[in-house]
Every structure is written in C-alpha cells, then in structure tokens.
C-alpha cells in the first residue's frame, strides 16, 4: 500500500472537530476525490497528509514510513502538490517555473542542469505546452498555467500527486480536460488525491471518494456506493437528484427546487 | 522563437555591462579637479604590474592611488552590496517594491552612528555603531513575529515598519539633543551618504563581510527563486523555508549594514537596481544577482563621480541617487506597465 491513513483526527479548538478517525489507504493508480462544503476542512486534511499540519491523533505512513518522522526533502520525493492556481509575483519563464519542480533533486548550491531541463522538456511535451516554454508564467491562460503546474509536479517524480481544487478558476471545457488528464495520470501509475466542489468530477473519476461534512465526520468509500442523492442533499443543504441518463449511459448530478 | 534566447540575452547583457563598468571605472579615475587622460590612467594602473615608462609624473599617480582608487573600490563594494541585498529582499518578501531598508537596517544604523557622533566617537566608533545599530534593528524586527508566534511575511513587514518608526523617533531625539554647531551637521551629513571619507583601511574592514555574504547569496540564488513561489509551495518542494529565509535575511542585512557603516545611508540603489536587472534579463535570480552586482557598481561610481565634480563642495550621495533614481524608477514602472 502506498499511502495509509489510520485514525487521523484534527481539531483547532476541542469543540470544533474538523475530522475524526479518518481511515483509508490508497495504492498506486488509484484516485481519491474529496468533497465537502466550503470551510469543512478539505485543505486542512490535505495539509495533514503533506505534513504541513500536525494531526491531533492518528498516523500517516507512505510506503510504511511514518510521515511525521520525514523531513521536507524526503516527503517531496513521494508527494507532489499542485496548489490552487495563483499568479506569482515574478514572471518566470514557463520552463524556469517547471524546472523548480526538480528542487528536491538539486543541491543547495546548484541550479538545474541540462539533464534537469531534459525532464522539463519531456514534461512540457506530455502536457502539450512545449510552445509556451519561453513565455512568462504570468502571461499564459488559466488552463495553460494549470498544465505548467502539473508539469512542475511531474518533473519532481513523486508517487502521489495531491491537487487542491484543480478545476477552480477553469472554464467548463478546461475543467473537463483537467479531469481527463487526472485520469490519465492515474492510469500511468500515480496515486491521486484531489479536492473538488463538483460531485460530478468525483463521479467521472470513479475510484474512491471521501466526504468531509463540516460536522467532524469523515466518510470514505467506493465513489459509486458512497455518493447518493440523500448524501449530496444533506452535504450541500439543497435538493439534489442524480438521474441515470440512458442515452449517455451516465449518472448526472442535478440540483432541483 | 530561439530556444535559448534568454541565455543569449543574459550573456550579451553580462558582457555589455561588464564593458560599461570598465569604461566607467577609467572615466571615474580620470575625472576630477585634476584631470588625467584616459590613456594615462590605464598606463598608471598597468604600471603596477608591468614595466611602463613613467610619462605622467608623480601627481597623477598620487591622485589615482591615494585619492580616487579607494573611493572607486568603495563605490564598487557599496553599490553592489546594496544592489544584491535589494534583490535578495525583493525575492524573499515576494515584493518588487521592497528595499533593503524594509526591516529597519538603515534607520537602525543611523541611530548607531548618531549615538557614536554625540558621544564624540571617532570614525571607527561611528562605523561600528552604525553596523551594530543596523543589526540590532533587524534583530528586533525579526523578534516581534516570534513573540507573537506568527510566522507570516506580512507580520515581518509590519514589524519592520514598527522598528523603523521607533528608530526614526530615536534619531529625532538624538538630533534634538545634539550640539547644532558640529554634531547635528555630522549626523545630517551621515544620513545623506558620502564616499568622501573612505580610505583603504575602511575597504579592508568591510570587504571580508561583503565578500562572504555575497558569495553565500550567489550560491543559493536558484533556491531563492523557489521562495518567491510562496512558503507552502517551496516547503513541498523540499526547501527548508524558515532556514533559507533566515540565511538570506541575515546575509542581506550584513551586506547593507557593512555598506552603510562606511558610507552613511544611500537611498534608492537597493530598490532601483534589481528592477533594472529584471527588466534586462527577466526575474530568474541566477541571472538577476550577477547583473545587479555590476549595475550597482556602475550606478554608484557614476553618482559618486558626479558628486565630486558637479559642485566645488561635495554633494551628498542621496541627493543625487534620489534625483536620478526617482525619475528612473518612474520610467522603469512605466515600461513594465506597458508590458503588463
């Protein structure tokens, strides 16, 4: 098992429990989508997984190693993190930006070598952004920025990729493309954890879904069994139907009055 | 587009600025109340390492080696020190509007120097006072976030404002108490910066600190790039953010404090030069740092030469750096606006 989470709990003050007794494991090639309302603690959960926050109890292991005993460099060799798209202060060229993903493999006093840039070129080809190599990262579109950020994680060569709301700030078409891309990455053997505000995305990705409901409950299960009309209606406090459309052979999520 | 065009631009910029630096050096050594021809200047410099017939007389040689060369060394060291510490601060604080004064190093140094002046200290005591004052101000500014157990950049910036404000008031008190005949004038003159009183012993005193801290900053300059992405992202790329940021702030502060200790405060340099460097070669600090060093040296040599020759009495440097730096900064911002 690549990632193992046992009895994980986190709370800021003892009254407000973010999640309690979270248990799950994830293997290479598997996808975990995390859904939950605003402020429920999805980001807090991700922060615990990458050891930026200390959980109040429980244990996280990656390849049998306890993550709380690993330093930043060790963790960065296993976990790649795709933050929400943001525009940094300085307009590094796309290739310079992606090369920063090689940081865990580059010494304190060195800079990326030709070999590192070889990895950068391969990742840009894969993300189909080679033509943007010499453009400032600040001057490309949101969808392109996301591809560049994923390319940056790929050159890091992690086993688990964590994406914080990868579809936020993307237009409809790019959202769908991003989901397809995540599926492809899983097929190539990366384990994936992502948060999303769209239950449809969890359904499209199949595999596993975890729910953080804002009341301190953490539920994990097969996406097809865990996501239901009643669960989504409770979670988002609106009436939601999930009809199966015969002509598309797909379940859709639809809020109704 | 050429695949490595940025590398080519960088190499061209590096060579061009290095050539400009050479000519500026020759120009600065030749210009002044006692004019020496460029050719003689080059010959005089070379005569120390190669046998060349003396055709220029002892006066020219004395002017160059005793008067102008120490100031030139001072201008190179101090100009590049301000520039590289400005570039470092702008990267660590993820803000291109930041100057090395952000955490109060200049105002702290002024307090130290002013105290030394009113207690009648000699030049060395004033230098030591300025250096310690600058370091103490930054230590204070970095202690406040620790007391409040908050590690954010914003709080560090606010702490810098608190410390600078406090130091400015202390400077006010000292000026109020100072003897208006000589001490007050000395403090005001010191606050405006000058290289007029720099001699070789001053250069020897600060060059080890400037060399060591500059080498450290240059060595970690690619890692500093990663810091500009934000703390979270940097840490998840395996960077020890707290340690690296501390190293950069310590080195940049030591650089500014050393420079200020022998020249007095000089405004604008640390803010403007890194901007110009980024305009020429882009934001990658592996390129910005070397170019900033050269540009900082060029800028301060020119300004110091103007300070020597424009008027019979020497002009304080901050007057000139402000007169040149402010419109220049406006021009830089206007250009960047167009590109946005």
pLDDT in tens, B41-69: 999 999 888 888 888 888 898 999 999 99
pLDDT digits (tens, 9 = 90+) for A146-183: 999 999 999 999 999 999 999 988 889 989 999 999 99
Residue A150's nearest CA partner among A184, A201, A108 is: A184
Going B44 to B49 to B50 to B54, the CA torsion angle's sign is positive
CB spacing of A109 vs B1 below 8 angstroms: no
One-character DSSP codes across A52-103: SS--SEEEEEETTEEGGGS-HHHHHHHEEEEPPP---SS--BHHHHHHGGGG
**Joined tokens for residue A228:** 């239901």
How much is the pLDDT for B337?
59
> Sorting pLDDT into bands at 50, 70 and 90, what band is B121?
confident
pLDDT digits (tens, 9 = 90+) for B227-254: 999 888 999 999 999 999 999 999 999 9
Question: Averaged over A222-238, what is the pLDDT?
Answer: 92
Q: Is the pLDDT of residue B86 over 50?
A: yes
Structural domain span for residue B194 = 5-339
- Rounded to a whole number of angstroms, the distance from the CA of A92 to the nearest CA of chain B is 6
Q: Which residues of B touch A (CB under 8 A)?
A: 1, 3, 5-6, 91, 94-96, 219-223, 225-226, 228-230, 232-233, 235-240, 278, 282-284, 286
Residues shown for chain A: 257
For the whole model, what pTM was predicted?
Answer: 0.90
Contacts of B278 in chain A (CB under 8 A): 90
Tally of structural domains, chain B: 1
Q: Please give the residue of chain B at the shortest CA–CA distance from A49.
A: B236
Instruction: For each of the domains in chain A, give its residue range(s) and CATH number, in order of start.
Output: 1-63+159-227 (3.40.50.300), 86-157 (no CATH)
Angle of helix B183-192 relative to helix B105-118, nearest 10 degrees?
160
pLDDT digits (tens, 9 = 90+) for B25-40: 999 999 998 999 999 9
Pair B329, B109: CB distance under 8 Å: no
pLDDT digits (tens, 9 = 90+) for B260-285: 999 999 989 999 999 999 999 999 99
Scanning chain A, the segments in alpha helix (DSSP H) are: 42-49, 72-78, 94-99, 114-126, 142-155, 172-187, 199-205, 223-226, 229-236
Q: Is the pLDDT of residue A215 over 90?
A: no
Stronger pLDDT, A11 or B79, i.e. the higher one: B79
Contacts of B220 in chain A (CB under 8 A): 108-109
How much is the pLDDT for A14?
66
The Cβ of residue B142 has, within 10 Å, a number of other Cβ atoms equal to 19
Q: Is the pLDDT of residue A185 over 70?
A: yes
> Sorting pLDDT into bands at 50, 70 and 90, what band is B134?
very high
Contacts of A156 in chain B (CB under 8 A): 237
DSSP-assigned beta bridge partners for residue A222:
A208
Q: Is the pLDDT of residue A125 over 90?
A: yes
CB spacing of A134 vs B232 below 8 angstroms: no
CB spacing of B278 vs A76 below 8 angstroms: no
Measure the CA–CA gap between A148 and A131, rounded to whole angstroms: 12
Q: Is the pLDDT of residue B312 over 90?
A: no
Token pair 């700030």 is at which residue?
A: A169
pLDDT digits (tens, 9 = 90+) for A5-51: 999 999 887 677 888 889 999 999 999 999 999 888 898 999 999 99
CB spacing of A52 vs B232 below 8 angstroms: yes
Stronger pLDDT, A60 or B336, i.e. the higher one: A60
Q: Which of B5, B226, B283 sits opposite A134 (nearest CB)?
A: B5
Rounded to the nearest integer, the mean pLDDT of chain B is 91
Question: Averaged over B149-176, what is the pLDDT?
Answer: 91
- Rounded to a whole number of angstroms, the distance from the CA of A154 to the nearest CA of chain B is 12
Question: Averaged over A77-102, what is the pLDDT?
Answer: 92
Contacts of B95 in chain A (CB under 8 A): 89
Pair A196, A34: CB distance under 8 Å: yes
A50, A67, A80, A103: which to substitute to probe chain B, counting the most B Cβ within 10 Å?
Answer: A103
CB spacing of A89 vs B96 below 8 angstroms: yes
Q: Please give the residue of chain A at the shortest CA–CA distance from B95.
A: A89
Q: Is the pLDDT of residue A104 over 90?
A: yes
- Is the ipTM here above 0.85? yes
Question: CA B315, B321, B322, B327: dihedral to nearest 10 degrees?
Answer: 130
CB spacing of A104 vs B238 below 8 angstroms: yes
How much is the pLDDT for B4?
60
Q: Is the pLDDT of residue B226 over 70?
A: yes
**Percentage of residues of chain B with pLDDT beyond 70:** 97
> Sorting pLDDT into bands at 50, 70 and 90, what band is B1?
very low
CB spacing of B228 vs A90 below 8 angstroms: yes
Question: Averaged over A178-193, what is the pLDDT?
Answer: 95
Q: Please give the residue of chain A at the shortest CA–CA distance from B96.
A: A89
Q: Is the pLDDT of residue B154 over 90?
A: no
CB spacing of B229 vs A75 below 8 angstroms: no
How much is the pLDDT for B340?
43
Token pair 């807090």 is at which residue?
A: A44
**Joined tokens for residue B158:** 């606010």
User: What CATH number is attached to the domain comprising B54?
Assistant: 1.10.3470.10
**CA-to-CA separations, A75 to A81, A84, A103, A199, in angstroms, rounded:** 11, 20, 12, 29
Q: Please give the residue of chain B at the shortest CA–CA distance from A80.
A: B236
Pair A208, A26: CB distance under 8 Å: yes
Measure the CA–CA gap between A105 and A73, rounded to whole angstroms: 9
Measure the CA–CA gap between B76 and B79, rounded to whole angstroms: 5
């Amino acid at each position: 098992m690549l990632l193992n989470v046992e009895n994980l709990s986190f709370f800021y003050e003892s009254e407000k429990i973010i999640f309690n007794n979270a248990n799950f494991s994830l293997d290479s090639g598997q996808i975990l989508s995390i859904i939950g309302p605003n402020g429920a603690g999805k980001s807090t959960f991700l922060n615990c997984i990458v050891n930026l926050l200390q959980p109040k109890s429980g244990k996280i292991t990656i390849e049998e190693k306890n993550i709380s005993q690993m330093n930043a460099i060790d963790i960065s060799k296993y976990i790649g993190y795709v933050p929400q798209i943001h525009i940094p202060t300085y307009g590094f060229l796309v290739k310079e930006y992606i090369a920063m993903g090689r940081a865990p493999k580059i010494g304190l006093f060195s800079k990326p070598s030709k070999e590192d840039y070889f990895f950068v070129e391969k990742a840009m080809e894969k993300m189909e952004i080679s033509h943007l190599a010499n453009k400032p990262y600040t001057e490309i579109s949101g969808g392109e920025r996301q591809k560049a950020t994923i390319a940056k994680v790929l050159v890091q060569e992690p086993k688990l990729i964590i994406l914080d709301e990868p579809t936020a700030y993307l237009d409809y078409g790019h959202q769908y493309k991003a989901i397809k891309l995540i599926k492809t990455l899983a097929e190539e053997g990366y384990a994936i954890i992502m948060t999303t505000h769209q239950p449809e995305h969890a359904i499209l990705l199949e595999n596993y879904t975890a729910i953080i409901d804002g009341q301190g409950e953490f539920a994990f299960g097969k996406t097809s069994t865990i996501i239901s009309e009643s669960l989504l209606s409770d979670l988002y406090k609106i009436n939601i139907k999930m009809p199966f459309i015969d002509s598309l052979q797909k379940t859709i999520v639809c809020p109704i009055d | 587009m050429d695949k490595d065009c940025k590398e080519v631009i960088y190499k061209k910029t590096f060579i061009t600025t290095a050539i400009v630096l050479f000519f500026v050096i020759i120009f600065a050594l030749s210009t002044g109340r006692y004019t020496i021809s460029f050719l003689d200047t080059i010959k005089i410099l070379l005569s120390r390492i190669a046998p060349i017939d003396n055709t220029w007389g002892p006066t020219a040689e004395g002017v160059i080696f005793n008067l102008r060369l120490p100031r030139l060394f001072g201008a190179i060291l101090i100009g590049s020190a301000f520039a590289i510490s400005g570039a470092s601060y702008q990267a660590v604080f993820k803000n291109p509007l930041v100057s090395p004064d952000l955490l109060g190093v200049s105002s702290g140094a002024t307090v130290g120097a002013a105290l030394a002046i009113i207690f009648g200290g000699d030049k060395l005591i004033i230098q030591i006072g300025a250096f310690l004052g600058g370091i103490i101000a930054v230590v204070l500014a970095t202690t406040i976030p620790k007391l409040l157990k908050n590690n954010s950049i914003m709080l560090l910036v606010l702490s810098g404002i608190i410390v600078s404000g406090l130091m400015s008031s202390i400077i006010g008190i000292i000026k109020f108490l100072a003897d208006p005949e000589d001490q007050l004038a000395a403090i005001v003159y010191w606050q405006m910066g000058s290289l007029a009183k720099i001699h070789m012993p001053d250069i020897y005193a600060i060059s080890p600190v400037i060399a060591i801290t500059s080498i450290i900053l240059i060595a970690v300059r690619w890692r500093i790039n990663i810091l500009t992405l934000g703390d979270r992202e940097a840490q998840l790329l395996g960077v020890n953010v707290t340690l690296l940021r501390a190293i950069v702030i310590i080195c940049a502060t030591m650089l500014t404090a050393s420079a200020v200790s022998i020249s007095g405060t000089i405004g604008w340099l640390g803010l403007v030069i890194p901007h110009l460097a980024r305009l020429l070669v882009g934001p990658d600090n592996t390129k910005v740092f070397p170019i900033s060093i050269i540009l900082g040296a060029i800028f301060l040599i020119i300004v110091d030469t103007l300070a020597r020759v424009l008027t019979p009495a020497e002009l304080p440097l901050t007057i000139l750096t402000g007169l040149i730096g402010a419109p220049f900064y406006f021009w830089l911002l206007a250009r960047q606006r167009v590109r946005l």
